[in-house]
Structure 1
């Protein structure tokens, strides 16, 4: 445990002392305040120092949480016709909403669950939210009316949104940038692979059993993931861990003070007395709009990610009627075409996972050992090409009624384009809203203050929640007009419109941010302030000093 000793820094006894190791029986007679920090760079309680096996166990379980919820989001898609018949629903928008309303909850849940993870910890929020999802997903199988199903699906989606809000921050807590590419690639694969796996399984279940087993089967799988989470996920949020350490020190000092000794004030590094429910709620509802207004990074890349996610869900809801009506296939066989989407997503994701880490290390070595978020962008170049090409091949292939392998190749290209863009944008946003130690060896989440709000928050959940909100709104809304668009324009013209939008919105993004990304970040209100939650020796960072408040300060 580290405390701050006035004599070590030449500060007065009333000032916050500088970092020094706490002896076995601390003597803090001169200190008015003790700031608790990590015990040097090798502190075993620092999540950065977890063993590699422990990190990968947490990564895989967190990714499983992130997988099962998207599986539920789309698994009902092939069975919506059966559900509509049972509930006597004929409105196409309402039928599409049975699938997409789950994603609407994704737009709302992270706004609350992200901040809650900063108060109660990542682990507790993730586990309890997953339990909430499990309960309501199970109840969906007992719905007796369409409105009941819609309400239950929305409530399940709220709990299921927790991994999207928190899991990425967990990986940011435990992995360094040179290692994080593959871990985040696996994590970011789950929200896209899950909706692909879901309909394949859902089609077979709907054909051979009842649509209600779509929900019951996912609930059974979720129980298994929940059990793994109890054993393999531990708290990783640095401020909360340091606060627990400070609480233990307060308890021991209070016992000493009861015997007549002086009891100094003890606080954890980054403790904020304004960390109240009222402040948290204010920030939870306002900060995505604040960030979207101020940040060109979020405005352009977030909108593009939202668009491609909307296109993704258009494919999820339109593929069953596409192959059933044009190619006259059964529900089971039509569901198999989701495998083309899964192949494109999986192949591109695993290739990109290794490529991103290699490109990051190579570019960093060539440019003086300094890592930049822009080193994550090269994967977007093929991604922005694959997406429109795949859309055109799919739409016009189906329109012409050619062999099904042609639209399947197009669908695979769409999946590859989506995941290449998705992963690059996701990691770029995380990197752009977090800074490196001077050595470039570690990636650290950092704190910043929103305008006119004296409250420090972790920007990883903030930025990702903002992007996730935009993405989920499009994932909910796009399927609602998809079938009407295809009915009026045909698959060829409909997908051509989407392809043109993909080119206009997406193609300029990697070029723009590769050339001007550093300049844009330099003008950012949130990304340009260096800080660290996990750096045990901030005074060693280049160009930085440790002030009396114990926080890292940038030298002008």
Structure 2
């Protein structure tokens, strides 16, 4: 049976192409792409991740959310213990001791440059599972560290290998959901990404005060190890990886050689494609205004969040006289704002669908993601001025804590609106966009806390925070400019090509 099919296909191929002698190998192979091109078996193919059942999709989303929370809480839970780390290891400089927390964040910045492109070449699970195993091992190394250097190295590599959950996760979401459906799962993932830094100081503060700061390191190890097995609940979702496997299986069954997928039409080897893809996040930041400006705005706010890890200590421990546990609990306002933003997922997606129906061509209208970002861009400076000028002993502590509610809400709305906007603009490289954004975001998150001590030495807390709030005023036009000029920018972009 398969032999007859093979003969029929080869005969059809020969009748539709010029003589072999007149063509190069690649020209000969792709002269009639519809014959040997392997695609999905129609729009309802159950193997296509976008046709998976709702339950299967949301199981994957839940795993991604839990693991994202595990990764991000580890970046901030050590912040209340910084001064105890300084005393235990005899570190004399403030930036030096800050590296305990932010070597982990630096790892976040570098890991996606390799792992996000790798996931687009070799598949999502080829990245998720081995990197998480190494993440668990380096968390164990943190707990067993006997000196400061060992702790820094283990924290750095734990950050590198944990980065796949946050950088590749949005790529997985776009594998499974149509742009009109990706809003709610993306909101859940973004909420968990921000809940980690929101709850981290709360957990770390209580562990530091009542058990000892070393228990934070063991908490991170136990948490990461306990969720490791959940990655085996996540099936491979990268479409081109699945189609490549399908082509390989068909070739074994039929004996027909030369079957290929759309992504293989470039004729480049996997290694060459991988090397090219590694540079893509940097190219996106350098040459794509949509990716750069959205990432820059979100990164600045993300940096403020990590700066607040130090600023809240100054305000609530120094001025209000709170202990580590209570000062960590002050982040409850930010955590509440993050949770409230998660409840907006359905409404934001409805806005996007309505705008897509009204303005979109073929159902595509990325600018429909921007209205929540427009509101958040206006509110985030207000929340920061609120915190700056209410953190005084004559003002009840609940007032500055409450300023975290709109700040937390704005963070998530900006992040998810801009992340989905950029990914909708270039859906075929969503993981690389995530890597580009993650790189810039983590660089800000690492650098802002390092300048916090000097900033607060030179200025009173209210003036230091006022300076930062004033900078956010400069970002207000960003979503409005993209609403007006976004389609034109995309039409000029070299990244519109599906296979680069």
TM-score norm. by structure 2 comes to: 0.91
Q: Whole-Å Cα distance in 2 between the matches of residues 195 and 413 of structure 1?
A: 16
Shift of residue 9, structure 1, vs aligned partner: 12
Unpaired runs of 5+ residues, structure 1, are 20-32, 255-262, 435-445, 447-458, 534-556
Q: Distance in 2 between matches of 1:373 and 1:523?
A: 16
Structure 2: state its 5+ residue gaps: 19-27
CA distance in 2, matches of 1:311, 1:414: 10
Residue 367 of structure 2 aligns to a residue whose secondary structure is helix
Q: Please tell me whether the aligned partners of residues 429 and 464 of structure 1 are also in contact (alpha carbons under 8 angstroms).
A: no
The corresponding residue for 1:89 is 91
Query: Which moves more between the two structures, 105-114 or 243-252?
Result: 243-252
Q: Which residue of 1 aligns with 2:23?
A: none
Contact kept, 8 Å, 1:326 with 1:401, in 2: the verdict is no
CA offsets, 1:41-84, max 9 Å, x none? 11111111111000000011012121111110111111112111
The question of whether the paired residues in 1 share the 8 Å contact of 2:120 and 2:431 is answered with no
2:259 corresponding residue in structure 1: 266
Which residue number in structure 2 is paired with residue 48 of structure 1? 50
Match of 1:356 among 348, 358, 365: 348
Partner of 1:372: 365
1:292 aligns with 2:285: yes
Is the CA contact 2:191–2:341 (under 8 Å) kept in the aligned structure 1? no
User: Alpha-carbon deviation of 1:339?
Assistant: 0.8
Is 1:313 equivalent to 2:306 in the alignment? yes
What is the CA-CA distance between 1:364 and the residue it aligns to?
Answer: 2.1
Matched residue, 2:484 = 515
Residue 280 of structure 1, CA deviation:
2.0
Superposed CA RMSD in Å reads 2.4
Three-state SS of the structure 1 residue aligned to 2:182 is helix
CA change 1:242–1:282 in 2 (3 A) is: closer
**Counterpart in the other structure of 2:438:** 468
Cα offsets for 1:376-432 (capped at 9, x unmatched): 000012211221111111111114641111111212222122111111111111111
Correspondence for 2:322:
329
Query: Which residue of 147, 152, 174 corresponds with 1:172?
Result: 174
Could you tell me which residue of structure 2 aligns to residue 344 of structure 1? Answer: 337
Name the structure with the higher helix share: 2
Other-structure match for 1:227: 229
* 1:64 corresponds to 2:66: yes
Using the TM superposition, give the Cα deviation of residue 358 of structure 1 relative to its aligned residue in structure 2, in angstroms: 0.8
Which of 394, 407, 412 is matched with 1:414 structurally?
Answer: 407
Cα distance between partner residues in 1 of 2:412 and 2:269: 37
Moved over 6 A (4+): none
Do 1:291 and 1:298's aligned partners in 2 also have CA atoms closer than 8 Å? Answer: yes
Q: Give the Cα separation in 2 of the matches to 1:316 and 1:269.
A: 47
State the Cα distance separating 1:197 from its structure 2 match.
1.4
Q: Give the secondary-structure state (helix, strand or coil) at the position aligned to 1:107.
A: helix
Check the 8 A contact 2:311/2:461 in 1, yes or no.
no
CA distance in 1, matches of 2:200, 2:393: 28
Q: CA deviation at 1:532?
A: 9.0
Q: Please say if residues 121 and 270 of structure 2, whose CA atoms lie closer than 8 Å, have aligned partners that are also in contact.
A: no
CA contact (8 A) 2:69 2:193 kept: yes
Partner of 2:44: helix, strand, or coil?
Answer: coil
Instruction: Please show how residues 225-264 of structure 1 align to structure 2 within 5 Å.
Output: 225-230=227-232, 232-254=233-255, 263-264=256-257
Give the distance between the partners of 1:123 and 1:191, measured in 2 at CA: 20
Kept in 1, the 8 Å contact 2:168–2:434? The answer is no
- Equivalent residue, structure 2, for 1:140: 142
Deviation readout 1:199-247 (Å, 9 max, x if unpaired): 11111111111222212122222223211221x2000111111111111
* Residue deviations 1:312-355 (CA, integer Å, cap 9, x gap): 1111233234211110011111111111110011112322x112
Q: Normalising by the residue count of structure 1, what TM-score does the alignment of the two structures yield?
A: 0.82
Distance in 2 (alpha carbons) for counterparts of 1:115 and 1:275: 14
- In structure 1, the residue matched to 2:422 is 429
Deviation at 1:468, TM superposition (A): 1.3
Query: Hey, what's the Cα distance between the residues in 1 that align with 2:499 and 2:154?
Result: 40
Query: Per the alignment, do residues 118 and 366 of structure 1 end up closer, same or farther by CA in structure 2, a change over 3 Å counting?
Result: closer
Alignment partner for residue 449 of structure 2, among 479, 482, 495? 479
8 Å Cα contact 2:139/2:221 also seen in 1: yes
Taking structure 1 as reference, are residues 312 and 519 closer, same or farther at Cα in structure 2, changes over 3 Å only?
A: same
SS in structure 1 of the partner of residue 37 of structure 2: strand
The number of residue pairs the alignment matches comes to 483
Note if contact 2:80-2:328 (Cα within 8 Å) is conserved in structure 1.
yes
1:298/1:86 CA distance change after superposition, 3 Å = same
Q: Where is the strand percentage greater, Structure 1 or Structure 2?
A: 1
Q: Which of 16, 19, 32 pairs up with 1:11?
A: 16
SS state at 2:403 partner: helix
User: Are the counterparts in 2 of residues 66 and 190 from structure 1 also a CA contact under 8 Å?
Assistant: yes
Q: Structure 2: how far apart are the matches of 1:350 and 1:122?
A: 28
1:23-43: per-residue Cα shift (whole Å, max 9, x none)?
xxxxxxxxxx72222111111
Question: Which of the numbers 369, 384, 405 marks the counterpart of 2:398?
Answer: 405
